């Protein structure tokens, strides 16, 4: 069945007008005197209307599916998600008057479920994060709907050459800084779509920037990067919501990555609490993973006597996670002892060096 051209034009116009009404996100420079000469920036993706970097992806996925003729005026949209993408897709589904169902793991932050429902979407729960794919496919078949499948299409749907993608925006916003071309951009991977966009853009623009991808515990991306084995799986889900996957996602593109690092979950959590004292705001745990990687790189640059800039992403706000990452009882039960990371971060603030 082909979708009517009228509806397609109407849907694209609605998304375009919504984009026209939107502003870009801020690039925040951290004040860290102990690493003078090395500047760290956070691209604050929490300020999108739906609160995370996934607003960009949701817009791209809707445009891609509509232009491919996969979505029409009656199509139920189904998505597998750890929550953030689903919140953003629920927003665009509402904009187009389409029913939306998110297939999410049971442990997803309650605040995200509330937001999905606020935008008129429904949450459909599965026990473990590795069950979201099959259940989404099954539901799409049963309801004759469309499975958006961010894990397959994230890297395809985003226009990596430019068109105001996140990489384009970062380089434009750096234009008047002391070190305009970052030495490093640091990003974690959920679908791998954002790191693919950034890595491709760096190469296409021939920038002298390296891409470092940071991975949390229980994720297979780092091991895949080292071994090339696409069949690796993990039966324990990532505890850092939004990033780290139990299988190698099709949108994860290793060839654009210059370096990968594993970041302990305790370091990610300690970093978000440390950052609160630097910027006065709470952020999500994936931002902690990103920033801890950036601080490691800054410390190494300092040791080598290098100067330059490092950009990483503030993926979403901590207000979504008050009952988990900002609840000391939850941290004790799920992450355990933060193993001295708060102390390492305090020392970094004084010396600019992060001990291993
Ligand atoms: C909070 C958060 N941070 C980071 C990411 C990773 O982004 P990507 O899917 O582009 O790899 C996600 C993805 O869901 C996320 O929800």
**pLDDT tens-digit map of 172-227:** 999 999 999 999 999 999 999 999 999 999 999 999 999 999 999 999 999 999 99
- Domain termination residue (choose one: 155, 181, 201): 155
Whether 326 is covered by a domain: the verdict is yes
Whether 315 is in the pocket of ligand 1, judged by its Cβ within 6 Å, is yes
Residue nearest atom 14 of ligand 1, based on CA coordinates = 242
User: Average pLDDT in the 311-319 region?
Assistant: 98
From the CA of 8, how far away is ligand 1's center (Å)?
28
Written as six digits, the tokens of 333 are 């039960």
- Domain termination residue (choose one: 120, 155, 190): 155
Residues 127 and 98 in one domain: yes
Whether 300 is covered by a domain: the verdict is yes
Strand (E) positions, the chain?
27-29, 38-44, 77-80, 100-105, 122-126, 146-147, 184-188, 210-215, 259-262, 308-314
Q: With contact defined as beta carbons under 8 Å apart, do 181 and 208 qualify?
A: yes
Whether 2 is covered by a domain: the verdict is no
Residues 33 and 108 in one domain: no
Residues 42 and 64 in one domain: no
Residues 304 and 167 in one domain: yes
Beta-bridge partner residues of 79: 102
CA angle, residues 137, 142, 147, in degrees to nearest 5: 35
From the CA of 243, how far away is ligand 1's center (Å)?
5
Q: With contact defined as beta carbons under 8 Å apart, do 283 and 252 qualify?
A: no
Residues 42 and 58 in one domain: no
Whether 271 is in the pocket of ligand 1, judged by its Cβ within 6 Å, is no
Instruction: State residue 3's pLDDT score.
Output: 74
Whether 316 is in the pocket of ligand 1, judged by its Cβ within 6 Å, is yes
Residues 186 and 315 in one domain: yes
From the CA of 220, how far away is ligand 1's center (Å)?
15
Whether 356 is covered by a domain: the verdict is no
Residues 222 and 149 in one domain: no
Residues 219 and 272 in one domain: yes
Whether 8 is covered by a domain: the verdict is no
Gap between the Cα atoms of 195 and 197, Å rounded: 5
pLDDT in tens, 64-120: 999 999 999 999 999 999 889 999 999 999 999 999 999 999 989 899 999 999 999
Residues 135 and 201 in one domain: no
Whether 4 is covered by a domain: the verdict is no
Whether 3 is covered by a domain: the verdict is no
Residues 345 and 229 in one domain: yes
Residues 272 and 131 in one domain: no
Residues 216 and 284 in one domain: yes
Would you say residue 155 has pLDDT above 90? yes
- H helices of 123-252, in order, are 132-143, 150-157, 166-173, 193-204, 221-227
Length of the chain equals 356
- Domain total in the chain: 2
User: Average pLDDT in the 268-297 region?
Assistant: 98
Whether 145 is covered by a domain: the verdict is yes
Query: For residue 288, what is the domain's CATH number?
Result: 3.40.50.1100
In a 3-state reduction of DSSP, which class is residue 40?
A: strand
Q: With contact defined as beta carbons under 8 Å apart, do 287 and 313 qualify?
A: yes
Would you say residue 1 has pLDDT above 70? no
Instruction: State residue 68's pLDDT score.
Output: 96
Dihedral of the CA atoms 233, 235, 239, 240 (nearest 10)? 20
CA-to-CA dists, residue 46 to 27, 226, 282, 302, angstroms: 11, 31, 11, 29
Domain enclosing residue 60, as ranges? 54-155
From the CA of 282, how far away is ligand 1's center (Å)?
17
Q: What is the DSSP letter of 281?
A: S
């Amino acid at each position: 069945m082909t979708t009517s051209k009228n509806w397609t034009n109407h849907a694209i116009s609605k998304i375009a007008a919504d984009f026209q009404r939107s502003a870009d996100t801020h690039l925040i420079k951290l004040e860290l005197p102990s690493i003078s000469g090395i500047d760290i920036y956070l691209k604050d993706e929490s300020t999108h209307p739906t609160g995370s970097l996934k607003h960009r992806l949701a817009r791209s996925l809707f445009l891609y599916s509509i232009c491919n003729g996969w979505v029409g005026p009656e199509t139920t949209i189904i998505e597998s998600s750890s929550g953030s993408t689903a919140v953003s897709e629920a927003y665009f589904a509402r904009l187009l008057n389409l029913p939306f169902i998110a297939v999410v793991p049971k442990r997803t932050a309650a605040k995200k479920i509330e937001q999905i429902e606020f935008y008129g979407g429904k949450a459909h729960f599965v026990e473990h994060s590795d069950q979201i794919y099959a259940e989404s496919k099954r539901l799409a078949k049963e309801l004759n709907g469309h499975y958006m499948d961010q894990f397959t299409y994230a890297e395809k749907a985003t226009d990596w050459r430019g068109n105001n993608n996140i990489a384009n925006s970062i380089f434009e916003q750096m234009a008047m800084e002391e070190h305009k071309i970052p030495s490093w951009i640091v990003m974690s991977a959920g679908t791998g779509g954002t790191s693919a966009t950034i890595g491709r853009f760096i190469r296409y623009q021939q920038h002298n920037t390296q891409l470092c991808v940071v991975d949390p515990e229980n994720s297979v991306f780092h091991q895949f990067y080292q071994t090339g084995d696409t069949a690796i799986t993990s039966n324990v889900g990532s505890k850092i919501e939004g990033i780290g996957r139990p299988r190698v996602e099709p949108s994860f593109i290793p060839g654009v990555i210059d370096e990968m690092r594993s970041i302990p979950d305790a370091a990610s959590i300690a970093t978000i609490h440390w950052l609160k004292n630097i910027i006065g705001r709470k952020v999500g745990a994936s931002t902690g993973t990103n920033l801890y990687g950036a601080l490691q790189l800054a410390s190494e640059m300092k040791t080598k006597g290098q100067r330059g800039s490092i950009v990483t992403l503030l993926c979403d706000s901590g207000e979504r996670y008050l009952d988990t990452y900002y609840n000391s009882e939850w941290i004790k039960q799920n992450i355990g002892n933060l193993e001295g990371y708060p102390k390492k971060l305090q020392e970094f603030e004084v010396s600019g060096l992060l001990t291993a």
